[in-house]
Amino acid sequence: MSVTDSIADMLTRVRNAGLAQHSQVAMPTSTMRQSIAFILKNEGFIVDYEILPGKISSTLLVRLKYTQERKPRPVIGGLQRISKPGRRVYCKKSDIPHVRSGLGVCILSTSKGVMTGTQAHRQNVGGEILCYVW
């Protein structure tokens, strides 16, 4: 099965695995998915990720993170895809949005690579808004 929007597919898999309280979720890997997983790990939304080699293609395994309460909840409260294949959304450095008053992150694809909105603002670059995570 061919997926036209691999980023939306990744976000949906992570969202569904969190709601079902799975400890990990697997998906086909790509450079963009690895970059997003790297950002999610650095921002503390997931425990870790790893790339498992395969015969045909490698697999990205994401280990989800949960709160330590009586009833565990996923640390990722929400994921929202912004720029889609049918409608690309770009922003300048001065227009980078704040997600949930700074409690979430905005992930951008810039000329200097995939990074958070805060990192893009520090490096004086804008780009395509991929998604919001909170």
What's the chain's Rg over C-alpha atoms?
A: 15
pLDDT recorded at residue 71: 84
Instruction: Give a yes or no: residue 37 inside a domain.
Output: yes
Instruction: Give a yes or no: residue 1 inside a domain.
Output: no
Cα–Cα distance, 113 to 106 (Å, whole number) = 14
Provide the H-helix boundaries in 43-93.
none
Provide the H-helix boundaries in the chain.
6-19, 31-42, 117-122
Residues 39 and 13 sit within 8 Å (Cβ to Cβ)? no
Write the CB contacts of 84 (distance below 8 Å, at least 6 apart in sequence): 5, 8
Instruction: Give a yes or no: residue 41 inside a domain.
Output: yes
Instruction: Give a yes or no: residue 25 inside a domain.
Output: yes
Q: What does the mean pLDDT of the chain come to?
A: 95
pTM of the full structure: 0.93
pLDDT recorded at residue 101: 92
Residue 57, domain extent: 6-133
Instruction: Give a yes or no: residue 19 inside a domain.
Output: yes
